């Protein structure tokens, strides 16, 4: 925590995009940006409360001296100047962008970020006490000599690679020159988002449907894209070049331009703007039905969110544009007046911040397993409706329309009307003492907050273990099967006489603040069950009935729910569930993993290396 006499912020210099923008005369002056990160007591590294930068290069055996950002010389000049050749600037860059990403998540979520705990698989109350607190995420700026960077769930660390530019067209890069992924704002923000998301939803690393890993990739890209707009000078430069029209491709819509050019992509690694049919003027709504590679499929979701952002931005600036062109839909065909440019920059920054917070808040309104893009749309709409009752600018409608244009539809909805997309509230009074014994008091330190969450998870575990306290109908709405006649394939607890086992994955206290200053205090609880799954439906039926089979399960099938409980009333607002007994979901996961056309995909995902380090596998060369 910051001491009362300490400054509020620490100013640090970074690349607004990546080093390639500094070699282009049109963007060089704005690429050296200064950002403000929350002040904290730092040790050399830098090492603070959340992050620990360790700069060892295993490939060369080098250890780079850690930067001391408390040095008077560095404090006086906002840290080291941007430099590709200075390892201490590399350390400064990953810390600054990492802390900016953490601050954006915390501002939206209404609580502090916690990293994923170490797993402790036991079916009793002591299991929660055995979970291990991870205080600091480690960052290794020069961990790999390859075109890769990834979040390691095993190491609880971000590993960044470096490599030589290759290919026929390496853009602004020197052919054969060294490319450092730790100098890309987009790559740092992307990997940090993976780590934060894993700390919130432990089961999203499992490939249970085509959207699951694609969502992890897409969400990390969404954060990186929208964080571009936190750099005012960079935004002003690009808006000026675009004459206000953000629907055009630019550095603001690009992701990891230098990295993409250096590996021969002839452009950015990815782009937030998708292809538009010149005849219809619409994106391909059929792509979602056949694109399965996680990055390519995730790009559809990224484009949907970026499209919603651009639509909202256009509605916010329509009056300004109308005063110049006479039409609110047509941007000027000449250079912008400086006053107009400043106003457009401010509106773009405000809109991006709002859309980013909408997306991050939605993470608390998602099911704990088997996520789909349609689930995310419903979560965005519900979370925003909870905090902002009056959608007078049509933000939620913009999201619905952009998802519809790309063929992304939620399941089990009557229509695409906003009120139909809201998660359903329980129709009976379920104020069953959910908050009895739950500690929701404010904690200063993150470790105390984590211990509080673990203790609360243990309380919930004990309550659910006493099955008589909850009506059978409520348990079914939670997607759980806890009675004795549940399928034999559901994992059993040896310590509980063979009763169906379950896990309270997390209990999070949030206190979000709405635009009018009202507080929304909630408790977010995730509960998960697992069930043995088999590639042959007949084997599944037999094992469900008897529990026996000649060999082990072919995959793990999960169900459960997210409970969102109002801290004022003690009532459950929403039960967002995935039914452990759902035959349709089980069959869909079986088809995804084992049908002929996807058999190699399933085998790859469930290989040992990719299961333990999925992002090392996914991020290699992209």
pLDDT at 622: 57
Task: Indicate if 611 and 552 belong to the same structural domain.
Answer: no
Element (H, E) at 255: strand 254-255
What does the alpha-carbon distance between residue 375 and residue 411 come to, in Å, rounded to a whole number? 8
The closest of 393, 234, 379, 256 to 311, measured between CA atoms, is: 393
Do residues 146 and 48 both lie within one domain?
yes
Handedness of CA 483, 488, 492, 495 (dihedral sign): positive
For 418, the enclosing helix (H) or strand (E) is: helix 418-421
34 in any annotated domain:
yes
- What one-character DSSP code corresponds to residue 254? E
CB count in 10 Å sphere of residue 118: 11
The mean predicted confidence, pLDDT, of the chain is: 87
Q: What is the pLDDT of residues 534-549, one digit of tens each?
A: 999 999 999 998 876 6
Question: Which of 176, 200, 224 finishes a domain?
Answer: 200
| 131 and 37 in a common domain | yes
The upper half-sphere exposure of residue 147, i.e. CA atoms within 13 Å in the direction of its Cβ, equals 20
- 28 and 148 part of one domain: yes
Question: Is the preceding omega at residue 84 within 30 degrees of 0, hence cis?
Answer: no
Tell me, yes or no, whether 273 lies in a domain. no
What integer is the mean pLDDT of 335-353?
Answer: 94
Considering the chain, what percentage of its residues have pLDDT values greater than 70? 90
Tell me: do 139 and 165 sit in the same domain.
yes
Say yes or no to pLDDT of 189 above 90: yes
pLDDT in tens, 300-341: 999 999 999 999 999 999 999 999 888 877 899 899 999 999
Based on the domain organization, do 595 and 527 belong to the same domain? no
What's the pLDDT score for residue 471? 77
Same domain, 475 and 572: yes
Our count of domains for the chain comes to: 3
Calculate Rg over the CA atoms of the chain.
25
pLDDT at 494 > cutoff 80: no
Indicate whether 542 belongs to any domain. yes
pLDDT, mean of residues 244-259: 85
pLDDT tens-digit map of 123-146: 555 666 677 889 999 999 999 999
User: If you ran DSSP here, which 8-state letter would residue 69 be given?
Assistant: T
Residue 238 near residue 250, CB atoms below 8 Å:
yes
Residue 462 clears pLDDT 80, i.e. is over it: yes
481 lies in some domain: yes
Residue with the larger pLDDT of the pair 358 and 178? 358
* Contact assessment for residue 523 and residue 569, using Cβ atoms and an 8 Å cutoff: no
Q: pLDDT, tens digit, for every residue of 393-446?
A: 889 999 999 999 999 999 888 888 888 899 988 876 555 678 888 999 988 899
Q: Which among 177, 200, 223 is the end of a domain? A: 200
CA–CA distance from 77 to each of 47, 71, 73, 404, 451 (Å)? Answer: 20, 10, 6, 48, 39
What pLDDT digit, counting tens, does each position of 143-170 carry? 999 989 999 998 999 999 998 888 666 6
**Residue 238 in this model has a pLDDT that exceeds 60:** yes
**Please, which pLDDT band fits residue 608 given cuts at 50, 70 and 90?**
very low
Residue 523: pLDDT band with limits 50, 70, 90: very high
Paired tokens of 362: 């939605």
Q: Are 259 and 187 in contact (CB under 8 A)?
A: yes
pLDDT at position 281, please? 80
Task: Say yes or no: 77 and 164 in one domain.
Answer: yes
- Report yes or no on 13 lying in a domain: yes
Which helix H or strand E contains 71, and what residues bound it? none
Please give the pLDDT value at position 115. 95
Q: Identify the band that residue 5 occupies on the pLDDT scale cut at 50, 70 and 90.
A: confident
Confidence at residue 208, expressed as pLDDT on a 0 to 100 scale = 92
Is residue 89 situated within a structural domain? yes
- 230 located within any domain: no
Phi-psi region of 382 (alpha: psi -120 to 50; beta: other; left: phi over 0): alpha
615: confidence class by pLDDT, cuts 50, 70, 90: confident
Closest to 208 (Cα-Cα) out of 622, 616, 590: 590
User: In the listed set 179, 200, 221, which residue is the last one of a domain according to the structure?
Assistant: 200
Tell me the average pLDDT across 507-525.
Answer: 88
Q: Which of 280-289, 306-315, 391-400, 522-531 has the lowest mean pLDDT?
A: 280-289
Phi, psi dihedral angles at 306 (to 5 degrees): -65, -35
Quick check: is 452 in a domain?
yes
pLDDT value at residue 80: 96
Q: Are 402 and 240 in contact, with CB atoms under 8 Å apart? A: no
Q: Is the domain of 620 the same as that of 529?
A: no
Question: Is residue 550's pLDDT more than 70?
Answer: no
Residue 598 scores a pLDDT above 60: no
Question: Is the pLDDT higher at 418 or at 2?
Answer: 418
Alpha-carbon distance values, 620 to 135, 191, 464, 497 (Å)? 28, 13, 42, 46
**The whole model's pTM is what?**
0.93
Q: Band the pLDDT of 518: cuts 50, 70, 90.
A: confident
Q: Is the same domain home to 520 and 615?
A: no
Residue 100 CA to residue 229 CA, distance in Å, equals 12
pLDDT at 605: 44
Q: Indicate if 74 and 163 belong to the same structural domain.
A: yes
Distance between CA atoms of 133 and 55, rounded to whole angstroms? 23
Residue 575 pLDDT > 50? yes
- Regarding whether 616 and 517 lie in a shared domain, the answer is no
Structural domain boundaries enclosing 98 = 1-200
Is the pLDDT higher at 470 or at 241? 241
């Amino acid at each position: 925590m910051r001491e009362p006499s300490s400054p509020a912020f620490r100013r640090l210099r970074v690349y607004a995009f990546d080093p390639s923008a500094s070699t282009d005369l049109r963007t060089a002056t704005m690429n050296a940006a200064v950002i403000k990160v929350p002040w904290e007591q730092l040790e050399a590294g830098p090492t603070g409360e959340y992050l620990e930068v360790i700069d060892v290069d295993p490939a060369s055996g080098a250890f780079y001296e850690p930067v001391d950002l408390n040095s008077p010389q560095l404090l006086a000049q906002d840290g080291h100047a941007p430099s590709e050749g200075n390892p201490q600037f590399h350390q400064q860059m990953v810390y600054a962008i990492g802390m900016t990403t953490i601050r954006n998540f915390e501002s939206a979520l209404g609580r502090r970020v916690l990293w994923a705990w170490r797993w402790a698989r036991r079916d009793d109350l002591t299991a929660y006490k055995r979970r291990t607190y991870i205080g600091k995420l480690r960052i290794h700026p020069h961990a790999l000599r390859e075109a890769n960077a990834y979040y390691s769930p095993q190491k609880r660390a971000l590993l960044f690679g470096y490599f030589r530019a290759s290919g026929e067209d390496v853009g602004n890069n020197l052919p054969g020159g060294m490319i450092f992924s730790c100098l890309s704002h987009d790559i740092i923000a992307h990997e940090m988002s993976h780590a934060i998301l894993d700390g919130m939803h432990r089961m999203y690393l499992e490939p249970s449907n085509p959207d699951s890993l694609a969502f992890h990739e897409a969400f990390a890209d969404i954060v990186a894209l929208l964080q571009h707009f936190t750099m005012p000078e960079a935004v002003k430069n690009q808006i000026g070049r675009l004459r206000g029209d953000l629907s055009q491709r630019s550095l603001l819509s690009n992701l990891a331009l230098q990295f993409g050019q250096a590996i021969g992509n002839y452009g950015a690694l990815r782009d937030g703007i998708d292809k538009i049919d010149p005849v219809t003027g619409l994106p391909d709504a059929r792509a979602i039905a056949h694109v399965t590679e996680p990055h390519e499929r995730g790009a559809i979701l990224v484009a949907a969110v970026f499209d919603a952002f651009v639509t909202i931005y256009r509605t916010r600036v329509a009056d300004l544009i109308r005063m110049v062109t006479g039409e609110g839909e047509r941007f000027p065909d000449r250079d912008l007046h400086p006053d107009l440019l400043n106003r457009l920059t401010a509106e773009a920054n405000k809109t991006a911040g709002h859309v980013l917070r909408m997306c991050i808040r939605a993470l608390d309104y998602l099911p704990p397993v088997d996520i789909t893009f349609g689930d995310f749309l419903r979560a965005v709409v519900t979370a925003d409706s909870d905090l902002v009752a009056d959608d007078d600018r049509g933000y939620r409608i913009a999201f619905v329309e952009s998802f519809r244009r790309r063929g992304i539809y939620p399941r089990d909805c009557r229509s695409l009307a906003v009120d139909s997309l809201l998660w359903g509230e329980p129709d009976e009074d379920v104020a069953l003492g959910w908050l009895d014994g739950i500690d929701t008091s404010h904690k200063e330190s993150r470790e105390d907050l984590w211990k509080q969450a673990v203790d609360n998870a243990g309380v919930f575990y004990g309550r659910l273990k006493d099955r008589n306290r909850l009506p059978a109908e409520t348990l079914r709405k939670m997607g759980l099967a806890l009675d004795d006649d549940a399928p034999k394939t559901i994992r059993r607890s040896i310590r509980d006489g063979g009763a169906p086992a379950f896990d309270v994955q997390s209990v999070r206290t949030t206190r979000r603040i709405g635009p009018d200053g009202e507080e929304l205090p909630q408790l977010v609880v995730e509960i998960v069950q697992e069930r043995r799954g088999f590639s042959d439906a007949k084997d599944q039926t037999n094992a469900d009935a008897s529990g026996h089979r000649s060999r082990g399960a072919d995959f793990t099938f999960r169900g459960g729910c997210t409970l969102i409980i109002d801290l004022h009333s003690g009532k459950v607002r929403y039960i967002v569930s995935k039914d452990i007994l759902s035959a349709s979901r089980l069959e869909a996961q079986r088809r995804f993993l084992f049908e002929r056309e996807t058999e190699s995909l399933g085998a790859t995902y469930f290989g040992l290396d990719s299961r333990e380090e999925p992002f090392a596998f996914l991020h290699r060369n992209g």
